[in-house]
Structure 1
Amino acid sequence: MKRTPVALLAALEALIALAISVGVLVVPATLIWAIGTGFSEFWALFWRTSVDFWLLGHGVHLNVTLSPETVAPFGLPGASAPFVLSLAPIAITALVIWLAFRSGTRSADSGHPITALIAGTVTYALLSCGVVFTSGSELISTDRVTGLIFPPLVFAASMALGLVVARYRAGERIPFDTLPERLGEPRHTMVFAALRAGALASGALIGAAGVLVAILLLVNYPLIIGLYESTELGVGGGVVITLAQLLYLPTLVLWAAAWLIGPGFAVGAGSVFSPLGTIAGPLPAVPVLGILPSSSSPLTWILLIVPLLCGFLAGLWIRRSRVESGELSLGEGAITVAGSAVVSGIILGLLAWFAAGAFGPGRLAEMGPTAWIVGLVFAGEILLGGLAGLVSGRAVTAVENAQTSGFADRIGTR
């Protein structure tokens, strides 16, 4: 395919990605404007609020100034003072990353992947400029500089990752694939096995955290309904707060992951939610926060085994796929487990960093887990569990495989 069609297709996919990610916010806001207000308010206000949260999902901080009447139902003392909103709605972030990643994988076999990457990034940057300059209101103001930089940066990084993954799956050379190979085949195998095992352990923990959040939502459903009723926001306000909570549901999953790891998270300065202990200060009347435990129990310590099991799973995969096949010795497998622990710690540390930030005035300026502690503790847990998984069965060496194969061949000739 020629460069021009490749560039045009990448630009179209960037346009679609932005339209979808903005649309999931603007469409519900428009319905609320039409049904809830009866077209009595200016639609531009709903557009600006929607794109403000779109920018927040790309890591852009918002400066908020609310009136006392607006914050009164939520029980936030001092909320009428200006504050910074930096806790990202990760649902929007994940949607943009997925759309850009898919665009990258589709552009990998176009013949001009770099052209596609440049065209897609430039298009997304130009379109996001229009979003930035139409954002902001009397209540919320955005940082124009970061608003112009962060959205195209997120899109470009995700699209580039899609290109690299697609080329690697196709068996082509990728830039970081040559150095380990020059160092020797065992090291090459160890590097990529560590990356896969680390991703496996991280994904397993996040999946377990998602199950935990789902169970807590079901168990605490009556309390959540009671918190809805206490806000007295009406139908329109209830719809708005429900949509906002859905945007932050992946953030709650990452908080649950930090809780399972052990360090836990904070919901306001001075508070700690952890299986090792809970200090719950005053909480805003946000219904979904009804799933948070009011105290810790010795039984919750049992759940600390979950990250160890994730490490065990990673170590077991390394043993069965690399050590028993003869690609790595047991010692090299142990080094690979250590590498997977580092990878897991980095992944969860970065996710914990993105799941933390400010969500209101005063003590609510500290929300979420402490990233470096979460990453460090998780790396240690994966290392312990991974080593246990590695030695959980007898490793079959390449010599034993050859002897077994030769014996089978002799039996077959008879």
Structure 2
Amino acid sequence: MIYERRALQRRLNELRGVIGDILVDGLAQRLNRAGKDRVAAMWETVVLHALSKCGNLANEVELASGRRPDIRLATPDLRITADVTAISDEGLDNDNPYHELGELVGRAKDKMGLPLGGLDLRIRSRHEKTKRGTRTVLLLPPRGKLQSFVHGTVVPQLRKQIEAGEKVLRVEIDDEDIGIDITIDPRKTPYNSYSFAAYDVPKIKDRNPLYNALKAKADQLRGADGITGVIVGDGDCTALSGRSGNWDEVTADQIIDEFFRQYSSVDFVLLLSVRETEQGGLVPIPPVRQNTARMRVREGSSATAQLDTLFRSMMEQLPKPGRSPVNGALRAREDDYDLGHHGGYSMSRSKVRIGLREFTEIMAGLRTLADNGAKNVEAARKLPQRPNNMQGYILRNLMDGRLPSSINVIKTGEDDNDDWVEIQFGEIDPAIAPLR
């Protein structure tokens, strides 16, 4: 997920005294279940916790309509009823399954004994024009027919070229429904590359994931007291990311204004996301990640200034992001835990430092230093292994007759998902070295 589990756990703990055990238990169950709803539960948890620091918060209070919005907040200046939701481009991804096609071609290539990587997949597209705008669709087989397409069309052409002794394999399919160029060049291993048009850039104001999510919440808030709004968390959605700058793109502000025009039951929309800023330099440095918010208030509202003050205070309570929305959404679909400091270490004249989780897994026999922190140890051991410098350093100390003189755990904070173990090596020990 975007935020680290330790940070989420503290917020769950503190919410128990605000909204009660039953509601918090429900959030915890959703956070523990792999899938896209995990991202929605994450945003709901951090928003509820942050707003609980800004006023008197209640959760799922029943309205006269029988609906139970996520937020009822009272401050000296405001009374707010709001819902929290997370949006992604998953529906568009399902309609344009380029990733699944790449995986199927990759597996078929591996079964034919070709080297790892070297796949270049280029996908053509068409632009479907309607009265309301234009949408981009990749020229791919339907998701349900991908496997039969690969095995019945792609694989036979690849086998024929292999039998003919071709060094670089190429498959080109170009008709009204499918437009694919596949190149497999063993000299370019171990990397794969995909190329296709951006199909997830919104171009129609009221037909896109952001508008659909807002529309779904409009009825939930109808008839609610006070200021009403929708807080939208980024679950990997281009409309929120600002990644595109196409001339024919409709912006998030334009989408929200169109929503306000069609629905009067919502007074504000708050968009939450995370921005990454890459740090240049010769030495790789992790990107800087920062929580971001963009608010849109219905024209003529008298509460704009108060809402701005409230949400600025709310943002100060959010955790430090550990991943971008796209990577957080991918990790949310995995059924195990994220790696910690696996593969990371530091060495000095007499000390080494390694992640606590990796250290414990080594002690438990689940991995060795030679695995270099790989998540899938069994798969990594089938590939060529590079030497592990820390293992060599420890071996040299041992051969010199030096044993650890102290082992200390160095704690990190809630915005990290691992601690460190620092091992100090002592003087030469005559128990394992020649007497002097």
Q: Which bracket does the TM-score occupy, shorter chain normalised?
A: under 0.3
Structure with greater strand share of residues: 2
- Rg larger for: 2
Higher helix share: 1
